[in-house]
Structure 1
Amino acid sequence: MIGSQASPKEKRPMSETPLLKLSGLEQVFDTKKGPVAAVGGVDLEVKPGKVLCLVGESGCGKTTTARAAAGLTRPTAGAVEFRGKDITQMSAKERTAYRRSVQYIHQDPYAALNPTRTVYSTLSAGLKRHGIVKSRTEARAKAAELLQLVELTPPESYLDSYPHQLSGGQRQRVNVARSLAMNPDLLICDESTSMLDVSIRVSLLNTLGRLRDELDVGFLFITHDLAVAKYFAWDGEIAVMYLGKVVEHGPTPEVIGNPQHPYTKALIGAVCEPDPDLAKANRSAVGLRSAEIPSLTALPSGCAFHPRCPAFEPGVCDTSEPSLRLADTSPERKGRKVSCHIVARDIARAAPSDRTLTFDAVPGSRRPEPESAI
C-alpha cells in the first residue's frame, strides 16, 4: 500500500538471480574522427528491489549504458541479460514481457511527454496497447490510480490536463506514473531529477523510494550528483564511471564514506557540504592535476584518468590499463571493487589490521537526512 492506494502488484519474493546483468558491455560509435568507444566493457548487476546508482561526469557513458540496458540500442559487444536471459536471444513473447518489465524515465520532463496528448491519453496508451484495460471507464480508473501512486491528487484535476498546464515536477511524476502502468520489475531513471528544483527533487526521490520499498521495483539510477546517489541508494550500490568504464563499485556507505579511487574522491569533493569541517576535508581530497577531460577519440595510454590524477606515478599509471578488481576481501568490505594501480598496490602492502575502518567514524558516511542530503 502507498497511502490509501492499492499497489499495482503483489510484492515479489526475493531472488538471487539479478534482474538485470550487463556483461562486458561495449558501445562503439563510428564518427568522422574515427571510432568512439562510449562504453568500454561494463559489468553490472541490478538485484530485485535494489538500487544501483551509476555516477559520473557528463559524457562518461552513463546514458549510453542505460539505453543498452533498456534495449533501446544494440551494444557493439557484450551481453544484456534480464532474469538470466540474453535479450538478443528472446522470443517475441519474451521480448514483449521484457519491454513491459523494464521501463525508462527520461531526464527532460518537458520533452518526454507528447504535447498534444492529455495526461489520461498518455497513461492509457500503454494500458490499451497491452490489453491491461478493456474499456474507457476501466482505463480512466486505472489512470487515476496511477496518479495517486505518484501523489498527483486529486487525480481528476490532472487527467484532462495537457503537459503545458503542468509544472516540471508534475510532468516528471506523470512520466513515473506512465512507467508504472506496465507493472515494471525495473525502472531505469536517466537523470530523472536533475532538471527539477531542489525541494521538488527531494519529494520525487521520496516517492520513488516508496515505490521501491512498497512495490519491490529495482532501479538503475543514473546521476552525476553523488549527493542524490547517497540519498536514494544508501541501502544499494554505487558504480562510478569515467570515460566509459567503471572505476569504483561497491555498497553506497563504503563508496561515499571511504572512497578509494582518486576520481571518486574528486566527485565527493565537488558536493556542496553545509558542514564546514567536512567540506574542508572533501576539498582537500580533490587536487586534480587538470580539469580537462581527455577526448574519447584520443584516450591516454595506461589509466585514462592519469592526466588528471593527483596520485599519478610515472611508469606505473601511464603504462598499462588497470583492471576493476576487489579492493578488499574482508567481510565488512565485501564487493568493493576499484580500478587503480596505486590503490591496488597500497592495499596489497597494507596489513589486515590497517583495513578495518569503521564506516560510522568516516565523515559523511551516516545515512543522509532529507533536509541535508541534496
Structure 2
Amino acid sequence: MIDRSAPAPAPALPPDAPGPDPAPVLSLNGVHQVFPGARGDVPAVAGVDLEIRPGTALCLVGESGCGKTTTARMAAGLAEPTSGSVLFRGRDIAAMDRKERSVFRRAVQYIHQDPYASLNPVRTVYSTVSAGLRRHRMVADGREARRVTAGLLERVDLTPAGDFLDKYPHQMSGGQRQRVAIARALAMNPEVIIADESTSMLDVSIRVSLLNTLGRLRDELGVGFLFITHDLAVAKYFAWEGEIAVMYLGKVVEHGRTPRVVNDPAHPYTRALVSAVCEPDPDLARTKERVRLRSADIPDLTDLPPGCDFHPRCPLYAPGACDTLRPPLVRGHDRLLACHVVGRG
C-alpha cells in the first residue's frame, strides 16, 4: 500500500537576494523508495525534498549507489515512490489523468548517462529526434518535421545539420550521440530537463563543451535542470549560480547555494567530496586540506548503523550523539544541514 499522506514541508533555503524565488516547476516532497531484497528491504531513497525552478540548476551530488538515479527516476515519473509525492506545477503526478500526464511527459525530459545505449541503433538521427514531434502532432507533415529537427540539431551545435540527419548512432562519437539525446529532449519544449550523469562517459574536452551547451540552453530557454553527478567539479562548473544537494545513503545531508557548499563545505561528507576533487594548480594541490575518513567502507543499506548513517566513516564522530540519534535536515543561516557536530547557526 502506497502512503499518500502529506509529509511535513521541507525547510526552505535562505534567499540570496531580496524578492521571492519563482515557483518550482517540479517538487519532490518526502519521497521514499524501498526495494524488496533477499536480505530485507533496501531503502534506496529515504525522505528527499527537492525543488526545480525555471532557468536554474540543482545538482544532486554523491557517491555511486547513494540513490541519485533512483531520485531522478521518481522525479521524471519513471518510478513511483513508495511514499511521498512528486508535484508538477503543484499537482501530484500520481493523481493526474491521461491528459495531464501527457503534458507532464512532454514538460519533463530525461537525458540518460550512456550515449551508446540511449539511442535506438536502427533509427536515424532524424527518426529519433522527430519521433516525439510526430507522436504529439507538433508538426504538420514530414517536411516540417525534417525542418524542425534540423533546427534542433543546430541548437545543440551539430552543424551543419544536414550532415547528421540521416546518420545512425554507430556513425557518431559519444559526444555527438549525447547531443542528439539533448536535441530529442528539446523537441518537446521541456520546462525541466533531468540529466543523469549525462557527461560522465565523455572525454574532458567534450564534457566541457556539452556543459556549455546545456548552460546556454538553460539561460536562453529558461529550462530548469536537475543535474545528477558524482563529480563536485562538474557541479561547480554547471551550477555555479544554482544549488547543490549532497546525498549520502538515500538522504540529503547538505543543501545550499553552490558557491557556499563548494567554497565552505559544512558536512564532513561534503568536505571529503571537496577534498577529493583534483586541483590543477600544483601549488594549491600541495597545500590543499585532505580529509581522511575513519573507514572507506560504505554501510550496507539493509543493515544501516544506528544514529547518523555517516558516523562509522566520519572524522568528526562524537560518541553518544552521532551513534544514537539520526540528525534531521534543518535550516542554518546559509544552508540546510544534517549533522550533530557541525554548527548550523
Structure-2-length-normalised TM-score:
0.93
Structure 1 residue 214 corresponds to structure 2 residue 220: yes
Mapping for residues 44-123 of structure 1, pairs under 5 Å: 44-123=50-129
Measure how far apart 1:327 and its partner are.
2.1
> How far apart are the structure 2 equivalents of 1:225 and 1:33?
31
Decide whether the 8 Å contact of 1:104 with 1:190 is kept in 2.
yes
Q: Which amino acid aligns with 2:305?
A: P
2:187 is matched with 181
Measure how far apart 1:154 and its partner are.
0.4
* RMSD across aligned positions (CA): 1.1
Measure how far apart 1:283 and its partner are.
3.7
Q: Unpaired segments of 5 or more residues in structure 2?
A: 1-19
Structure 1 residue 141 corresponds to structure 2 residue 147: yes
> How far apart are the structure 1 equivalents of 2:269 and 2:66?
12
2:336 is matched with 337
Structure 1 residue 125 corresponds to structure 2 residue 131: yes
Structure 1 residue 204 corresponds to structure 2 residue 205: no
Decide whether the 8 Å contact of 1:269 with 1:279 is kept in 2.
no
> How far apart are the structure 1 equivalents of 2:288 and 2:327?
25
1:366 is matched with none
- Matched position secondary structure for 1:247: strand
> Per residue, is there more helix in 1 or in 2?
1
Q: Which amino acid aligns with 1:122?
A: T
2:319 is matched with 314
2:11 is matched with none
> How far apart are the structure 1 equivalents of 2:260 and 2:21?
24
Mapping for residues 293-312 of structure 1, pairs under 5 Å: 293-312=298-317
1:22 is matched with 28
Measure how far apart 1:208 and its partner are.
0.3
Moved over 6 A (4+): none
> How far apart are the structure 2 equivalents of 1:104 and 1:153?
23
2:295 is matched with 290
Q: How many residues align?
A: 326
> How far apart are the structure 2 equivalents of 1:138 and 1:15?
38
Mapping for residues 185-264 of structure 1, pairs under 5 Å: 185-264=191-270
- Matched position secondary structure for 1:343: coil
> How far apart are the structure 1 equivalents of 2:21 and 2:60?
22
> How far apart are the structure 2 equivalents of 1:148 and 1:213?
17
Measure how far apart 1:282 and its partner are.
3.9
- Matched position secondary structure for 2:342: helix
> How far apart are the structure 2 equivalents of 1:282 and 1:179?
40
Deviation digits for residues 160-188 of structure 1 (CA, Å, limit 9, x no counterpart): 00000000000000000000000000000
Deviation digits for residues 13-48 of structure 1 (CA, Å, limit 9, x no counterpart): x97320111111100000111100000000111111
Deviation digits for residues 289-320 of structure 1 (CA, Å, limit 9, x no counterpart): 11111110110110000000000011110000
- Matched position secondary structure for 1:341: coil
1:364 is matched with none
> How far apart are the structure 1 equivalents of 2:84 and 2:295?
32
Measure how far apart 1:89 and its partner are.
1.2
Structure 1 residue 172 corresponds to structure 2 residue 171: no
Decide whether the 8 Å contact of 1:15 with 1:48 is kept in 2.
no
> How far apart are the structure 1 equivalents of 2:129 and 2:239?
28
1:157 is matched with 163
Deviation digits for residues 80-127 of structure 1 (CA, Å, limit 9, x no counterpart): 001111101112111100000000000000000000000000011110
Measure how far apart 1:278 and its partner are.
3.4
> How far apart are the structure 1 equivalents of 2:286 and 2:254?
23
Measure how far apart 1:274 and its partner are.
1.6
Decide whether the 8 Å contact of 1:247 with 1:261 is kept in 2.
yes
> How far apart are the structure 2 equivalents of 1:194 and 1:281?
28
Measure how far apart 1:272 and its partner are.
0.5
Q: Which amino acid aligns with 2:153?
A: L
> How far apart are the structure 1 equivalents of 2:58 and 2:200?
17
Q: Which amino acid aligns with 2:298?
A: I
| Percent of residue pairs identical | 67
